[in-house]
């Protein structure tokens, strides 16, 4: 299973029974529904992450300085996620049997970690060039593989290992191909940005594994509305933490002058933050959706793929030319992603073969 719940010595039929009990909504999907749901969430993640990173980079380059404002912008877009509940009330199911206080504590813990993680990313974006930032972020997939193995019992096949190695090298190549010394940044700030981004990459990988563990062990709800619910609740917590940080740090005093001096005017300033908030929510829904239906490691794979495809997106959007290293990085990224998807295809085929046999009795 891609969302692995067994060891190599366990009966795969019993493991499949446990998987169906924990995630009945996934096992009811047809093969095409599964692939369509995956494709939609992959698009959400790729588009949302690409747009959000570009907008935050734009915020800093045009005169923005507040790290807590950038952190708040990455979490405050959660109200748009209420729209699906309004349009499709049926996606909301009764609460899990787990005590509400435990679920709320899970959301509180994850939301607080998210706020801290986004603050670290904001520091990295402020003090590092795009190339250096991308190069360090490539380490996230390695951290994700380690956490998935120990926390989520993720099996590491040859195809998955190939995907991890190739995608990490691809994202690193993107950083090296654009590498240039960070101008107008002191050594202390560069070091702070480097350490912050590295810690953010490790923490985000840990967050993805903890989110998968929360789905498996605690939440166990029956519809995909849980994806939106988790994103809304954790974003509310992260937004509250960001607001407290904004006032505790005193950065709120800068906001008026920052808006007035922003290159492009106050309207450009406000729209940059609003669209950053929207983009990050779209990205986060894709991340949580992929964790829900596949695994935290697969979300990490798609996030790293976004780094690998960034030169192609830049070339299309801004009509830049791509050098040979960037072309190779894009091709390597596509190859690494394809090997993981092929592993998922093999897993689904294995599950279909198990379905042809008589379902085992409950192992309890």
Quick check: 22 pLDDT over 70? no
How much is the pLDDT for 363?
Answer: 41
How much is the pLDDT for 172?
Answer: 80
Average pLDDT over residues 170-196: 73
Nearest-Å Rg of the Cα atoms of the chain is 21
How much is the pLDDT for 29?
Answer: 62
The DSSP-derived string for 214-226 is HIIIII--SSTHH
Q: What percent of the chain has pLDDT over 70?
A: 78
How much is the pLDDT for 21?
Answer: 40
The DSSP-derived string for 331-357 is HHHHHHHHHHHHHHHHHHHHHHHHHTS
How much is the pLDDT for 122?
Answer: 92
Phi and psi at residue 260, in whole multiples of 5°? -70, -35
How much is the pLDDT for 4?
Answer: 36
How much is the pLDDT for 69?
Answer: 94
pLDDT tens-place string over residues 128-163: 877 778 778 888 988 999 999 899 888 888 988 998
Quick check: 192 pLDDT over 70? yes
- Rounded Cα distance, 236 and 115, in Å: 10
How much is the pLDDT for 18?
Answer: 41
pLDDT tens-place string over residues 251-305: 999 899 999 999 888 999 999 999 999 999 999 999 998 988 888 899 999 998 8
Length of the chain, in residues: 364
Average pLDDT, the chain: 81
Give yes or no for a contact between 295 and 152, defined as CB atoms under 8 angstroms apart.
Answer: yes
pLDDT tens-place string over residues 50-69: 888 888 888 988 889 899 99
- Rounded Cα distance, 336 and 30, in Å: 26
How much is the pLDDT for 132?
Answer: 77
Which of 63-67, 180-184, 203-207, 281-285 shows the lowest mean pLDDT across its residues? Answer: 180-184
Q: Which range scores top for mean pLDDT: 24-38, 67-81, 317-331? A: 67-81
Which of 33-47, 83-97, 165-179, 184-198 shows the lowest mean pLDDT across its residues? Answer: 83-97
How much is the pLDDT for 32?
Answer: 80
Task: State the pTM of this model.
Answer: 0.81
Quick check: 183 pLDDT over 70? no
pLDDT tens-place string over residues 317-346: 556 666 777 788 888 888 988 998 888 888
H-only helix segments in the chain: 12-22, 24-27, 31-61, 67-73, 82-87, 100-127, 130-137, 140-151, 158-177, 187-214, 225-249, 255-261, 266-293, 296-318, 324-355
Quick check: 43 pLDDT over 90? yes
Average pLDDT over residues 2-31: 45
167: nearest Cα among 39, 60, 309: 309
pLDDT band at 232 (very low <50, low <70, confident <90, very high): very high
Q: What percent of the chain has pLDDT over 90?
A: 35
- Rounded Cα distance, 163 and 149, in Å: 15
């Amino acid at each position: 299973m891609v969302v692995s719940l067994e060891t190599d010595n366990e009966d795969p039929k019993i493991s499949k029974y446990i998987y169906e009990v924990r995630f009945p909504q996934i096992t009811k999907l047809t093969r095409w529904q599964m692939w369509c749901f995956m494709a939609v969430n992959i698009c959400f993640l790729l588009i949302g992450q690409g747009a959000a990173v570009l907008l935050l980079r734009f915020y800093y380059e045009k005169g923005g300085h507040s790290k807590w404002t950038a952190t708040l912008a990455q979490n405050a877009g959660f109200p748009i996620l209420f729209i699906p509940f309004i349009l499709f009330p049926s996606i909301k199911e009764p609460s899990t049997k787990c005590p509400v206080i435990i679920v709320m504590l899970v959301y509180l813990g994850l939301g607080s970690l998210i706020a801290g993680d986004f603050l670290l990313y904001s520091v990295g974006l402020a003090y590092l060039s795009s190339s250096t930032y991308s190069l360090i972020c490539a380490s996230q997939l390695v951290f994700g593989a380690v956490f998935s193995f120990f926390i989520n019992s993720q099996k590491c096949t040859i195809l998955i290992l190939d995907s991890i190695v190739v995608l990490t090298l691809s994202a690193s190549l993107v950083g090296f191909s654009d590498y240039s010394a960070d101008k107008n940044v002191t050594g202390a700030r560069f070091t702070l940005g480097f350490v912050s981004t590295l810690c953010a990459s490790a923490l985000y990988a840990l967050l993805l594994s903890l989110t998968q563990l929360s789905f498996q062990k605690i939440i166990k709800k029956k519809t995909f509305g849980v994806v939106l619910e988790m994103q809304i609740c954790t974003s509310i917590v992260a937004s509250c933490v960001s607001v407290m940080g904004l006032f505790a740090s005193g950065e709120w005093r800068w906001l008026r002058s920052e808006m007035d001096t922003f290159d492009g005017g106050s309207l450009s300033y406000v729209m940059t933050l609003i669209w950053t908030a929207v983009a990050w929510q779209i990205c986060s829904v894709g991340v949580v959706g992929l964790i829900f239906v596949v695994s935290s490691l697969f979300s990490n794979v798609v996030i790293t793929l976004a780094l690998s495809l960034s030169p192609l997106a830049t070339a299309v959007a801004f009509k830049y030319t791509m050098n040979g290293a960037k072309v190779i990085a894009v091709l390597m990224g596509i190859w690494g992603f394809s090997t993981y998807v092929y592993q998922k295809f093999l897993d689904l085929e294995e599950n279909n073969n198990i379905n042809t046999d008589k379902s085992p009795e409950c192992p309890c």
